[in-house]
């Protein structure tokens, strides 16, 4: 086991669960507990949210907690990581649609507290809109808790390989692997947008707490690289190793290649 992995283990921030469901329940519980804690202090929770297959079960759990346990999202302010560009908000595969379908339509979050980068932002003013997005996060005191997935090329948000550690929210060209992975949903790679707007790596890493969730065998290879490769823009998730506030929540399949863990 190399040194960086050992350091991570010593900080005790890798958590491996037998199933994807168990890992997702853990993540949902952490989010719910943060919401409840902030509520008891009379404060709002600034929550960074992700899309894709990975967080679906987390959102299912949060919706269940809202329905069955009375978990309220009235004190939540959300900021999503990314959105395809250009893409209409109403497109069924927009991340706006995804969030409505999987979470927002089923909970009591105030519409005015929901923020996502926009696939319909005017291209001439895109830089201003991206800056304003980061500014708005700052105005709210920064992200308290950021939920992250990881792409098979190591991207976080849509910060593709080559993204700088100090990058801000911006327009980015999607990597070939990202577009290939999205091709099934879009029914053909030719339908996958070429670009996206993503929170920057600096935007993400400024979060006070970060939960990276990875589930399934198809993430095993990149999780190994995220833990063991040299820290570099080539695998943007390696940057997370420099941060003490990151926890990795994995199922056994995603953790399969990490090597022997001293747990």
| Residues designated as active site | 82, 153, 155, 160
Q: Which is nearer to ligand PGA, 38 or 48 (CB)?
A: 48
Regarding 94 and contact with ligand PGA (CB under 6 A), the answer is no
Regarding 150 and contact with ligand PGA (CB under 6 A), the answer is yes
Regarding 52 and contact with ligand PGA (CB under 6 A), the answer is yes
Q: Is the dihedral of CA 130, 132, 134, 137 positive or negative?
A: negative
* Piece of 21-29, 35-43, 129-137, 149-157 that binds ligand PGA (CB under 6 A): 149-157
Query: Least separation, in Å, of the C-beta of 184 and ligand PGA?
Result: 10
* Piece of 50-58, 66-74, 220-228, 232-240 that binds ligand PGA (CB under 6 A): 50-58
Regarding 86 and contact with ligand PGA (CB under 6 A), the answer is no
Strand-pair partners of 263: none
* Piece of 15-23, 132-140, 146-154, 253-261 that binds ligand PGA (CB under 6 A): 146-154
Regarding 24 and contact with ligand PGA (CB under 6 A), the answer is no
Query: Least separation, in Å, of the C-beta of 6 and ligand PGA?
Result: 26
Regarding 149 and contact with ligand PGA (CB under 6 A), the answer is yes
* Piece of 47-55, 57-65, 186-194, 249-257 that binds ligand PGA (CB under 6 A): 47-55
DSSP assignments along the chain, one per residue? --HHHHHHHHTT-EEEESSHHHHHHHHHHHHHHHHHHHHHTT--EEEEE--SSTTHHHHHHHHHHHHHH----TTEEEEESEEEES--TTSTTSHHHHHHHHTGGGS---GGGEE---TTS-GGGHHHHHHHHHHHHHHTTS-SEEEE---TTS-BTTB-TT--TT--SEEEEPPHHHHHHHHHHHTSGGGS-SEEEE--HHHHHTSSEEEEEE-SGGGHHHHHHHHHS-SSTTSGGGGGGG-TTEEEEEETTTTTTS-----
Query: Least separation, in Å, of the C-beta of 38 and ligand PGA?
Result: 26
Q: Which is nearer to ligand PGA, 213 or 258 (CB)?
A: 213
Q: Which residues bind ligand PGA (CB under 6 A)?
A: 52-54, 149-151, 155
């Amino acid at each position: 086991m190399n040194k960086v992995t050992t350091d991570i283990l010593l900080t005790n921030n890798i958590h491996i669960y037998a199933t994807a469901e168990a890992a997702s329940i853990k993540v949902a519980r952490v989010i719910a507990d943060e919401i409840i804690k902030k509520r008891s202090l009379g404060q709002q929770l600034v929550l960074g949210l992700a899309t894709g297959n990975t967080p679906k079960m987390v959102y299912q759990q949060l919706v269940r907690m809202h329905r069955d346990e009375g978990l309220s999202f009235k004190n939540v302010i959300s900021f999503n990581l990314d959105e395809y560009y250009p893409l209409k908000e109403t497109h069924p595969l927009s991340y706006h649609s995804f969030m409505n379908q999987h979470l927002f339509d089923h909970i009591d979050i105030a519409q005015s507290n929901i923020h996502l980068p926009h696939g319909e932002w005017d291209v001439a003013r895109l830089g201003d809109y991206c800056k304003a997005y980061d500014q708005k996060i700052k105005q709210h005191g920064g992200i308290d808790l950021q939920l992250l997935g990881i792409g098979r090329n190591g991207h976080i948000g849509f910060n593709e390989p080559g993204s700088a550690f100090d990058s801000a929210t911006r327009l980015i060209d999607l990597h070939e692997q990202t577009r290939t992975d999205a091709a099934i949903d879009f029914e053909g790679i030719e339908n996958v947008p070429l670009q996206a707007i993503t929170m920057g790596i600096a935007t993400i890493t400024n979060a006070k707490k970060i939960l990276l969730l990875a589930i399934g065998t198809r993430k095993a290879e990149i999780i190994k690289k995220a833990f063991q490769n040299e820290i570099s823009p080539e695998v943007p998730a390696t940057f997370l190793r420099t941060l003490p506030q990151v926890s990795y929540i994995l199922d056994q399949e995603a953790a399969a290649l990490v090597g022997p863990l001293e747990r």
